[in-house]
């Protein structure tokens, strides 16, 4: 989800953060919700139909939404209406939420789609790559990774021109790169992407010659487990956020069940600063256990909230503006 206006529109008195943009991955629709007319009862303002999007752009499976300084809305789409990754790209809606077209230039679509983030001062947008909708919409199958139906690349675009300048192959350490974030400081030319399946945080950065490179900055080791589908369990990083002062990075391990805080004052050398378990498959009372180096079976203690046991695992994360609440 996203908004019709954000920091990209700073200084434009004609815009306001009024409409919530809700791309719907499987139906292909984009819902626009008015939150200002009655803040206590948000109302549906408009539905952009999947058929309209497909007819005018060939795109389907909308996912990530960002507002642009022009007033347009840009949405990553993960495939065509049939679920083929080859049809993916970036949808543009105008300020009235009409289909405007594609953002990227013809022939410059990414290999796979998912998230994207732009850093205007460096005239760069970087997008990540999940996989083909035809594969993931029926449930995750590890064989599909080996079949090449999931991504391991970052795509570097000219901003706002829409020309694909570079493709970074993250290799076997960067499988399923999902959420991507630049540092908040608009002058900085570095950021991170969370690679879910390999549970690595990869840092991307501009080099001296103006091209972009990458390196593994944080690695979450898989745990040896029993009573699970595989002998080892990855952390499965599904989301992360960076504090507004660019001092800390917070990530979630969906399967392991922990939230981690890293000091990133040196972006190339994150330092673990905090960790708390709030769920996951390895909590006390679960059938699944992890095995220590000396072959002991262990589980993590998870706190209760008002007498209620926390269930599931941490999957998405948000940080308060003051950086004090996750």
Residue 48, SS3? strand
Residues 215, 259 within the same domain: no
Residues 26, 67 within the same domain: yes
pLDDT digits (tens, 9 = 90+) for 43-101: 999 999 999 999 999 999 999 999 998 999 999 999 998 999 988 999 999 999 999 99
pLDDT value of residue 1: 86
Token pair for residue 85? 């990754």
Taking residue 46's Cβ as centre, other Cβ atoms within 10 Å add up to 15
Residues 71, 49 within the same domain: yes
Residues of the chain with pLDDT under 70: 7-13
d(CA 322, CA 169): 36
d(CA 131, CA 178): 10
Residues 8, 52 within the same domain: yes
Helix runs in the chain, H state only: 50-57, 133-136, 142-146
Residues 112, 159 within the same domain: yes
Let me know if residue 243 belongs to a domain.
no
Q: Sheet harboring 223-226: ordered strands across?
A: 232-233, 223-226, 289-291, 297-298
Taking residue 75's Cβ as centre, other Cβ atoms within 10 Å add up to 24
Residues 215, 145 within the same domain: yes
Let me know if residue 185 belongs to a domain.
yes
Peptide bond into 75 cis (omega under 30): no
pLDDT value of residue 10: 60
Distance of CA 293 to the CA centre of its chain: 33
Taking residue 6's Cβ as centre, other Cβ atoms within 10 Å add up to 14
Question: Under 8 Å CB-to-CB from 238, ≥6 apart: which residues?
Answer: 178, 179, 194, 196, 252, 254, 315, 316
Question: Under 8 Å CB-to-CB from 249, ≥6 apart: which residues?
Answer: 192, 201, 218, 240, 241, 242, 243, 261, 262, 264, 270
Let me know if residue 145 belongs to a domain.
yes
End position of a domain, from candidates 56, 75, 103 = 103
pLDDT value of residue 208: 96
Residue 135, SS3? helix
Let me know if residue 168 belongs to a domain.
yes
pLDDT digits (tens, 9 = 90+) for 269-292: 999 999 999 999 999 999 999 999
Residues 113, 88 within the same domain: no
Q: How many domains does the chain have?
A: 3
- Sign, CA torsion 169/174/179/181: negative
Residues 14, 95 within the same domain: yes
End position of a domain, from candidates 41, 69, 103 = 103
Q: Which residues constitute the domain of residue 266?
A: 251-326
Closest CA to 115 of 254, 237, 33, 220: 237
Residues 74, 172 within the same domain: no
């Amino acid at each position: 989800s996203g908004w019709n206006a954000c920091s990209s529109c700073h200084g434009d008195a004609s815009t306001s953060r009024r409409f919530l943009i809700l791309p719907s991955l499987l139906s292909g629709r984009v819902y626009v919700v008015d939150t200002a007319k009655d803040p206590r009862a948000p109302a549906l303002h408009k539905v952009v139909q999947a058929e309209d999007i497909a007819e005018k752009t060939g795109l389907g499976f909308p996912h990530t939404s960002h507002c642009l300084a022009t007033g347009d809305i840009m949405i990553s789409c993960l495939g065509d209406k049939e679920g083929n990754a080859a049809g993916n790209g970036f949808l543009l809606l105008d300020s009235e939420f009409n289909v405007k077209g594609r953002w990227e230039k013809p022939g410059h679509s990414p290999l796979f789609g998912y998230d994207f983030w732009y850093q205007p001062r460096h005239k760069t947008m970087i997008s990540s790559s999940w996989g083909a909708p035809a594969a993931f919409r029926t449930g995750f199958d590890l064989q599909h990774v080996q079949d090449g139906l999931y991504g391991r690349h970052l795509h570097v675009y000219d901003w706002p021109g829409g020309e694909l300048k570079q493709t970074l192959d993250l290799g076997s350490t960067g499988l399923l790169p999902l959420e991507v974030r630049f540092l908040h400081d608009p002058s900085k030319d570095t950021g991170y992407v969370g690679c879910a399946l390999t549970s690595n945080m990869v840092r991307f950065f501009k080099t001296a010659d103006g091209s972009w490179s990458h390196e593994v900055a944080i690695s979450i080791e898989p745990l040896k487990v029993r009573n699970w589908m595989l002998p080892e369990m990855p952390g499965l990083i599904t989301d992360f956020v960076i504090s507004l002062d660019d001092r800390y990075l917070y990530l979630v391990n969906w399967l392991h069940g922990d939230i981690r805080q890293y000091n990133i004052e040196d972006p190339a050398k994150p330092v673990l600063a905090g960790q708390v378990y709030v769920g996951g498959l390895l909590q006390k009372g679960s059938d699944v256990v992890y095995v220590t180096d000396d072959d002991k079976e262990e589980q993590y203690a998870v706190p209760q909230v008002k007498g209620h046991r926390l269930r599931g695992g941490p999957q998405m994360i948000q940080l308060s503006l003051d950086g004090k609440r996750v």
